[in-house]
Chain A
């Protein structure tokens, strides 16, 4: 069966510090991978999605970047965090992009202070 893991689960970072959140999927190959952010009262906002190694699409302009160095690894990064980057970050995957069920990782709580 397929599983998805992301880490760290929680972190508190000062403004201006870097960020790296990692996500890996097991039990499948060539998954589509997603990073979402959930801020209070704002639902799930799609940040990035990737259909393959090195292929990243960004949905909103922001202080963050994403990379996919391996087929089942997706990384969310920032060089300098802003207060507004605080939120709950979710990694997700599916096999066939386009209206199909996606499965989420456990999420990472980021507080920028």
Chain B
């Protein structure tokens, strides 16, 4: 059965800390790994990764994919309270819908 597993499920850090969120996947006909940020309502797209070892970066957020070990990480440096959210990881496979993990709830305290 295809699945995406995220860890940790929840995390509390202080402003300025660096965090690493993990996502492992078992997805047949794998095509891509996607990260979303969900604050109060709709998840918003962060990254899509298709190639191993190529880091994608947006401001303080970065992500990388390892297709050999079947995992991805999302790094957030110098965290801010506005980074508090649920971070969702999803595996994309050919011809069908994304498979989502349960998410990591990040809380950043000031």
By a beta-carbon cutoff of 8 Å, the part of chain A in contact with chain B is 34, 36, 41-46, 49, 59, 90, 97-107
- Given A98-B94, A98-B96, A99-B92, A43 and B43 contact (CB-CB distance below 8 Å): no
What are 23 inter-chain pairs, A to B, with CB distance below 8 A? A36-B100, A43-B88, A43-B100, A43-B101, A44-B88, A44-B103, A46-B97, A49-B96, A49-B97, A90-B42, A90-B43, A97-B96, A97-B97, A98-B31, A98-B95, A99-B30, A99-B32, A99-B98, A100-B48, A101-B48, A102-B98, A105-B42, A106-B41
Q: Which of A45, A99, A103 has the most CB of B within 10 A?
A: A99
Is B102 part of the binding interface, using a Cβ–Cβ cutoff of 8 Å?
A: yes
Whether the Cβ atoms of A100 and B92 lie closer than 8 Å is yes
On chain A, the residues within 8 Å of B102 by CB distance are 41-43
Cβ contact within 8 Å between B42 and A106 = yes
Residue numbers of B with Cβ under 8 A of A are: 9, 30-32, 34, 41-45, 48, 50, 88, 90, 92-103
